[in-house]
Structure formats: structure tokens, C-alpha cells
């Protein structure tokens, strides 16, 4: 089949859960001998024109790189370009890009249109009222214009049924099996020691909750009765998504504690090393689809501490590692409890996470279901 991906920022994925998902999905499709094109934005990939990565064609088209116009202009141009390419499938990722999914339905009726509902983006605090209105319309477009709609979590599947009376197909995000990383050399760049830091990986936008984690960690460091805390650092991996003022506030909060490290966005070997040597990943998000960051940490056999939003509870429902969303005090308590566990108990939590990944979130299990949707 000839398949196009529209809506993501580009490939290779350097940051962004949707970008990571599309990158892996496209590569797996190419390995199965499908002809795959990913539409990308030059500012994201630092490339121009058309390139090939792991058998996937990346076609770069222009966009107006502003907070409100970047995605819309790029997906519009990508959709118009795709009309002339005679794709068998055009797959839109996200509710914003789905706003223009009517174009191939109307002008290329032989093309199968698939959408993936990754998250309820209008809940994200960075958007104003007008943007939230269009994202709400995009939600309806996601389930209305497509031949088939994928939801990445059970809660999103239920949301589409309740809000729009539309059946969707639940297919979760997935991760590839990882190899052990023994080298600690990259940690020196950030002044880190293996197993002596808490990790958070996310775009630095308010709904991801970095401010909640910083408050909890700063309070935790005042607990001098626990020797496991003395040399512990907090590492926040991620950067701006048109949220510079929020990031400025995060740094001001972090100034109260000397053990908080901001790395900006990381990818590839650097990010894998940070995952591989972390003591625990904390994900204090207030709103998600199905967070690939959490899947990746579980994939590295790392314990994870998660806010009690429905999407996290689909992954893990262990009260020992679940804290109340938007509650830094409860997060601090759960961190202290976790750090008081023996190393064997902490290791067991990580091993349990790998088993969950193996059973439910491997690409080998996910791919046949996606291909079935493309062919149906």
C-alpha cells in the first residue's frame, strides 16, 4: 500500500509523543514493504525537500511557524499535495490536523482516510478560547470525516462514544524493545550519577505538570532524615512549545533548590541514556492520551510514579505509585515512600512494568491491527 502520514511535525522524531509514534509506525510499515511518506516541517527536522530515513520518504512542505498557524498551514498544504499522489491511505494524527481530513474524502474518494485521536488537546492550558473552539471542532472532524478512527486509550474511546455517539477502534501506542546501555559517559554532561536522579520527560507546557514536580521535589529535599534523598537530583528533559513564560517561571521555582537540572529537548542516544540510568520516572500530567514517555520508562524496566488521571490508570493501578493529580504534597509523600523502599522492591516495580509492556504495548502486536484498519 501507498500510505501518507499527516499532522506530525516530522521525522526523525526529536521530541513529541505523536512524532515518536509516527516515526516508529512509519518504519515498521516500511519494513513490511509498504510505501510510506511522512509529511514534515523543515524547522523541526532541519531538513529541506525530500529525504529517506529507514525506507520512509519524508516530504518537507512549508508552514507558517506561529503558535496558531503552524499545524493548520502545514496540514492544509500536505493534504493538497497528497491529492495528486494517489495514496491508498492518508492517516491524520491529532484532532487539529483532522480539521482538513475532509479534503481527501471529497476530492480523492478512492483513498482510505484514517485519523488517530491522540489526546483532548483543547484541555491544554496553552490554548486560548478561539483555539479551543477549533480543537473542539477538530474532535468532531476526527470521528466524522474519517473512514475509521483510532483512539489510543480506552478513556478516549469512551469519550468519543459519549460526546459524538461514534464508535472508534482502540489501538494503544507501542514501543520497541530496548538494549541495555551500560555507558554513563553522557551523564557527565549534565553532572549526573547513575540511579541518583528522578527523571521527567515532557514538553514544558502547564498541563504536563513540571511545576507540581518541582514543588514536590523541593519539599522532599528538606527531608534530611532519609539518606536516599541527600544526593538525589531532579532531571527535567523537555523544552518550549510556545510556552517561554511558563519555562521562565519553572526556572524561578527551581532556583530554590540546587539539585534540579534542565536539559532542554533530548533524543536518540542521549535520551536513551537518561532513561536507562534513572532511578524513577515521574509523570505528573493533568491530561494525556496514552503517554509514550511513560511507556518508554516502563520499557527500560524503570519504576514510574503517575498522577491519577484515567490514562495513567489504564497502564498501572498500583496505589503505591499513584498520586493525586495537581497535588504536590501527595506527590512528595509518594516520592518519599518510594525512596524508602529497598533496592529489591524498587527493582521489582520496574520488572513488573516490563511485563506490562511485553503483554500489551509492543509493535509486533499492534501492527497487524493497524494494517487491518488500512485494508478494511
DSSP bridge partners of 56:
53
Give the cell for residue 191.
553532572
Q: What is the dihedral of CA 283, 284, 285, 289, to 10 degrees?
A: 40
Give tens-digit pLDDT for 162-180. Answer: 999 999 999 999 999 988 7
Residue 264 gets the label, from left (phi > 0), alpha (psi -120 to 50) or beta, of left
Which residues does 347 contact at the CB level (< 8 Å), separation at least 6? 301
Domain 2-174+363-375 listed as CATH 3.40.640.10: no
- Domain spanning 185-360: CATH superfamily: Glycogen Phosphorylase B; (3.40.50.2000)
DSSP bridge partners of 199:
235, 281
Q: What is the pLDDT of residue 241?
A: 82
- Residue spans in the chain of domains classed CATH 3.40.50.2000: 2-174+363-375, 185-360
Q: Which of 240, 363, 243 is nearest to 295 (CA)?
A: 363
Kindly give the confidence (pLDDT) of every residue in the chain, 376 residues in length, as a single tens digit, with 9 standing for 90 and above: 999 999 999 999 988 889 999 999 999 999 999 999 999 999 999 888 999 999 999 999 999 988 888 999 999 999 999 999 999 999 999 999 999 999 999 999 999 999 999 988 777 767 778 888 878 888 999 999 999 999 999 999 999 999 999 999 999 999 999 887 878 888 999 999 999 999 999 999 999 999 999 999 999 998 767 777 888 999 999 998 888 999 999 999 999 888 999 999 998 899 999 999 999 999 999 989 899 999 999 999 999 999 999 999 999 989 989 999 999 999 999 999 999 999 999 999 999 999 999 999 999 999 999 999 999 8
Amino acid at each position: 500500500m501507498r500510505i501518507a502520514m499527516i499532522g506530525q511535525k516530522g521525522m526523525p522524531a526529536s521530541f513529541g509523543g505523536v512524532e515518536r509514534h509516527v516515526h516508529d509506525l512509519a518504519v515498521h510499515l516500511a519494513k513490511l514493504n509498504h510505501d510510506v511518506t511522512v509529511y514534515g516541517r523543515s524547522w523541526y527536522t532541519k531538513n529541506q525537500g525530500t529525504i529517506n530515513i529507514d525506507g520512509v520518504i519524508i516530504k518537507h512542505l512549508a508552514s507558517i511557524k506561529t503558535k496558531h498557524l503552524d499545524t493548520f498551514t502545514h496540514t492544509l498544504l500536505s493534504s493538497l499535495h497528497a491529492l495528486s499522489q494517489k495514496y491508498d491511505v492518508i492517516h491524520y494524527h491529532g484532532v487539529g490536523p483532522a480539521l482538513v481530513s475532509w479534503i481527501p474524502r471529497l476530492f480523492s474518494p478512492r483513498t482510505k482516510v484514517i485519523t488517530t485521536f491522540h489526546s483532548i488537546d483543547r484541555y491544554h492550558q496553552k490554548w486560548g478560547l478561539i483555539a479551543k473552539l477549533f480543537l473542539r471542532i477538530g474532535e468532531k472532524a476526527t470521528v466524522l470525516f474519517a473512514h475509521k478512527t483510532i483512539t489510543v486509550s480506552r478513556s478516549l474511546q469512551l469519550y468519543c462514544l459519549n460526546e459524538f455517539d461514534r464508535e472508534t477502534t482502540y489501538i494503544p501506542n507501542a514501543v520497541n524493545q530496548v538494549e541495555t546501555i551500560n555507558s554513563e559517559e553522557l551523564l557527565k554532561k549534565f553532572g549526573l550519577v547513575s540511579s541518583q536522579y528522578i527523571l521527567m520527560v515532557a514538553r514544558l507546557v502547564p498541563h504536563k505538570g513540571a511545576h507540581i514536580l518541582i514543588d514536590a521535589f523541593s519539599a522532599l529535599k528538606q527531608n534530611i532524615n532519609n539518606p536516599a534523598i541527600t544526593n538525589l537530583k531532579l532531571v527535567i528533559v523537555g523544552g518550549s512549545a510556545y510556552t517561554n513564560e511558563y519555562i521562565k517561571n519553572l526556572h524561578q521555582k527551581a532556583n530554590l533548590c540546587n539539585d534540579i537540572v534542565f536539559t532542554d529537548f533530548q533524543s536518540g542516544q542521549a535520551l536513551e541514556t537518561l532513561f536507562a540510568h534513572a532511578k524513577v520516572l515521574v509523570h505528573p500530567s493533568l491530561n494525556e492520551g496514552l503517554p509514550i514517555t511513560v511507556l518508554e520508562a516502563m520499557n527500560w524496566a524503570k519504576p514510574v510514579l503517575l498522577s491519577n488521571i484515567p490514562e495513567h490508570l489504564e497502564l498501572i493501578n498500583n496505589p503505591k505509585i499513584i498520586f493525586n493529580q495537581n497535588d504536590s504534597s501527595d506527590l512528595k509523600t509518594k516520592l518519599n515512600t518510594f525512596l524508602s523502599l529497598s533496592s529489591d522492591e524498587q527493582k521489582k516495580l520496574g520488572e513488573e512494568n516490563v511485563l506490562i509492556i511485553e503483554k500489551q504495548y509492543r509493535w509486533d502486536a499492534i501492527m497487524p491491527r493497524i494494517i487491518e484498519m488500512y485494508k478494511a
